[in-house]
Structure 1
């Protein structure tokens, strides 16, 4: 029982306490360098559990970039409810990149700083502009926010993003069956995200069934499970 309790605590650590999304915290958690103090280019990839009951199963991911000497971060993400009044779910804003996602604390999935980040920013912007599903959204099995982030990270494998197993939609390939893994390395076989097999030096080995991901990563030791998420050393 002690082990089970510890696992449950790890699952819900940082989860939202607010009952209403309108009052849920969007405060930053201190993972993003202050642009006023860090003038060089920065790229960051974040993930956080979604709001409400969906957060038991799913996460939302996004990408933040700050070119050299920029005074703010630009955050790229897909937000499904934008389609209620707009013809695109793609959101491009200047906001705190490490803000809580409606109460839930974000996890920093990848980061690049300095000269190497400058070239990545241009490629990220190009991939964002070419995202093919901006006018459609489906929380399950995709395309959704994680489909978008995976689209970008496939184009920028230097980021080496190992998505949390709760990032439902990362395996959605639309009409394609074979592609690189979401990290941009290795390979992935996927049937519209409903059944997917992924193998790479970044993700390890993953099997996704109906959006539920099971996996093991021997390269960055971790066990990946639905609901629970990633079990392993802190990244």
Structure 2
């Protein structure tokens, strides 16, 4: 009985309370009431593709719309081949054919929310990885109509996480508040990945953990992530994302509450 009480208390303090705080913070933000009223325009976050003839690979994320924006971001992939004058954007969405190609501006706002670059590769390194990224996009198993589930997945973040896992040389890390990033088909999954020799275990995307040089230490509960980043010192707080423990990083995190990164 005491153990059950302590477990419930742990879940409440570590997961439920931060999530409720994130919902309260989100409720006070000025947000569009519907997707029709939202701003989806380009932001100028990415450089003009005509100004750099080299290859580029970006992973971006922005808070999503509605109440779910309190707890999660939407992520997508942007690529540019050598000498190309335009970017190519790939998202997974919840309507029609799930994986969309150039449906939105490469660095466009998502439900009026400003995107953040969470991973990027350029030059010769990007050129070498581009074919593998494109192959991972094409091989995504949940790319047919109806292959979308907002929670626990497969959703937009499950799609990007698939590409990141298939091409670890990208060096990208999915944000802690990218709900659906830990989704795996079936009821139980245990995997390890390089670099970092990370071990990742999940029960249908509802419960799980990750540990390793890249993930640090993470606990997963109903799509929420709590943990500690050891390589780049930070706390991972459900709903809010990363709370950097580095003063310089905390001063540059952007639009989130002080020190928090989406």
TM-score (norm 2): 0.78
Q: Does 1:121 align with 2:121?
A: no
Moved over 3 A (4+): 180-185
Say whether the 8 Å CA contact 1:151–1:182 is kept in structure 2.
no
- Structure 1 range deviating more: 220-229 or 138-147: 220-229
Residue 7 of structure 2 is matched in structure 1 by none
- Secondary structure of residue in 2 paired with 1:122: helix
Q: Does 1:199 align with 2:203?
A: no
Residue 117 of structure 2 is matched in structure 1 by 108
Q: Does 1:73 align with 2:87?
A: yes
Tell me which of 203, 220, 225 is aligned to 1:213: 225
- RMSD of the alignment, in Å? 2.3
Segments of structure 2 that go 5 or more residues without pairing to the other structure are 1-17, 254-262
- Secondary structure of residue in 2 paired with 1:125: helix
| Whole-angstrom distance in 1 between the partners of 2:105 and 2:95 | 20
Residue 198 of structure 2 is matched in structure 1 by 186
Aligned length in residues: 221
Equivalent positions of 1:1-235 (< 5 A) are 17-82=31-96, 88-93=97-102, 95-135=104-144, 136-175=147-186, 177-180=189-192, 186-232=198-244, 233=249, 234=252
Residue 15 of structure 2 is matched in structure 1 by none
Larger Rg: 2
TM-score (norm 1): 0.86
Say whether the 8 Å CA contact 2:59–2:118 is kept in structure 1.
yes
| Whole-angstrom distance in 2 between the partners of 1:183 and 1:133 | 25
TM-aligned CA distance change 1:181 to 1:101, over 3 Å: farther
- Structure 1 range deviating more: 73-82 or 195-204: 195-204
